[in-house]
Chain A
């Protein structure tokens, strides 16, 4: 296994745009060329070598090291390959990503998996707001791929989500699945208020807990076989998903009734 190691040399004062550093874009470049790639630092253009030391070879992917919490757009529009981040990252991780894999051994800021179209993003700790959402002003959010978060997530997870799967092991804050169009969100922990607000379609699966959904209609309990199909598929991707649905007998709420939505909240007991 050989990776291109990119290590942050100094503490950043301004935000850094790392959208250039994806395996697709740099795989044919020599190391010297990579070092001179121009990236945005605040409002000026600087070389990568001003901030990072680069070693190794890009065969399997890229490993980022250091506190990258001010580095945005890592894995932007990535199509294949792998990025491993040993530390925290900034905003827009995996923005418009179509394929490949990103593993963050730390936390991320906001908009992780924003407009994600395919591939897999794994965040080992927490993530900020707008996970798997659309870019502000766009009509459609995440439209494919898988987002797996081991920790907690902020507000508006899956905002305008169109397709794909979001799985969060921890808790989420308010407005989960806000304006969701389709896709599946699975939350193992607790949820905040206003779940599924203006939700059109799609599925949110939560564990049994106290929550208020006046904008949803209760539709009784039943068995949902598709959850098993989903579990088998997710199990193949990661062992983390093994037995995520211990029971497929769930309560079902349909809404948001305010926008004649057919979105569903499934509550597993």
Chain B
């Protein structure tokens, strides 16, 4: 399949099941809101070493947030419910509680609940106040600035991690430009996040390593500087490969995001781009396979 001169490889992105949670963060101004969510999702690029993957899902206008202030939804993904619960508490406790003017609410309603304010309330040292509004419990935790409002519980649901596309091109500059355009387009889709900085990752990994202690190492088949010495997947003229990883709550939205990203590259940013591929591990890693050519049909 060739779209506008770019080859869509006959391959698939291989994704795996995860657990996901959505939080709504609000603050007095967009400035402080951004600082809070950036801090919360900052070191959350990969479950390999961050404990979870996280990112900003979307902005919410004040009219749609629980407290009428600017808001953002954040999605966090982890391999199981226990580690997700732990990460949610750590990140809310250290990044949201600490940021001036913020408040934190659950953005998901399922039967599987995890503690949110119910655990963080103890920071109030007995001065915390519970308020039950519309069958939901909120905690008002006194802080030096005034009060921090946080919902008692949040929900978790099944998620999918590891949807991805690889942008392969002959120029560093053009591949990065195409990646940026794709990220911008993909971010318009709800229920997904792009967990890496700016949505793009340059250090795609393969499973395992020659070093015993490492569970992942550089994906040498896609490293342009190793073309001559490894079993490469790249043509001679390739200078750069960038990956966009997509985590989402459902397959449909991950596939849609991948499609939108590939489409914008092919349509407007095809200069210097030779092909679009995807990372997989031969079907051994996860049950979710996003076949690029099926997605682009």
A residues within 8 Å of B by Cβ?
A: 163, 182, 184, 201, 203, 222-226, 228-230, 232-233, 262, 264
Contact = CB atoms under 8 A, between A and B. Distances in A.
B127 A262 contact: yes
Most buried by B among A182, A226, A232: A226
B97 interface: no
A39 to B, nearest CB: 34
Contact of B146 (A222, A228, A229, A230): A222
B147 interface: yes
B129 A201 contact: yes
Interface stretch (B44-52, B131-139, B277-285): B131-139
Interface string B104-140: 0000000000000000000000010111111000101
A241 to B, nearest CB: 12
Contacts of A233: 133-134
B97 to A, nearest CB: 14
B294 interface: no
Interface in B149-175: 149
A228 B146 CA distance: 15
A182 B146 contact: no
A248 to B, nearest CB: 9
A264 B147 CA distance: 14
A264 B129 contact: yes
Given A182-B130, A203-B129, A226-B131, 7 more contacts: A225-B149, A226-B147, A228-B69, A229-B133, A232-B66, A232-B67, A264-B129
Contacts of A225: 67, 69, 103, 147, 149
Interface in B190-223: none
A163 B147 CA distance: 21
Contacts of A222: 146-147
Given A201-B129, A225-B103, A232 B68 contact: yes
A262 B130 CA distance: 11
8 contacts: A182-B130, A201-B129, A229-B66, A229-B149, A230-B133, A232-B68, A233-B134, A264-B129
A262 B68 CA distance: 27
A15 B287 CA distance: 71
A248 B127 CA distance: 20
- Main SS class of interface, B: strand
A225 B129 CA distance: 13
Interface of B: 66-69, 103, 127, 129-134, 138, 140, 146-147, 149
User: Which 6 A-B pairs have CB atoms at the shortest separation, nearest pair first?
Assistant: A233-B134, A222-B146, A228-B67, A225-B149, A233-B133, A228-B68
Most buried by B among A182, A225, A230: A225
Contacts of A223: 146-147
Nearest to B103: A225
Contacts of A262: 127, 129
Nearest to A165: B133
A69 to B, nearest CB: 33
A232 B103 CA distance: 15
B149 A226 contact: yes
B169 to A, nearest CB: 48
Most buried by A among B67, B103, B146: B67
Nearest to B105: A229
B132 A226 contact: no
A144 to B, nearest CB: 8
Contacts of A226: 131, 133, 138, 140, 147, 149
Most buried by A among B132, B140, B147, B149: B132
Contacts of A230: 131, 133
Contacts of B133: 226, 229-230, 233
A182 B131 CA distance: 8
Contacts of B132: 163, 182
B126 to A, nearest CB: 9
A203 B68 contact: no
Contacts of A203: 129, 131
Most buried by A among B66, B131, B146: B131
Nearest to A184: B131
B104 to A, nearest CB: 11
Nearest to B130: A182
A151 to B, nearest CB: 25
B138 A229 contact: yes
A32 to B, nearest CB: 40
Nearest to A118: B135
A201 to B, nearest CB: 7
A200 B267 CA distance: 66
A203 B134 CA distance: 16
Contacts of A229: 66-67, 133, 138, 149
Contacts of B68: 228, 232
A201 B65 CA distance: 27
Contacts of B130: 182
Nearest to A223: B146
Contacts of B134: 233
A224 B149 CA distance: 9
A23 to B, nearest CB: 22
B140 to A, nearest CB: 6
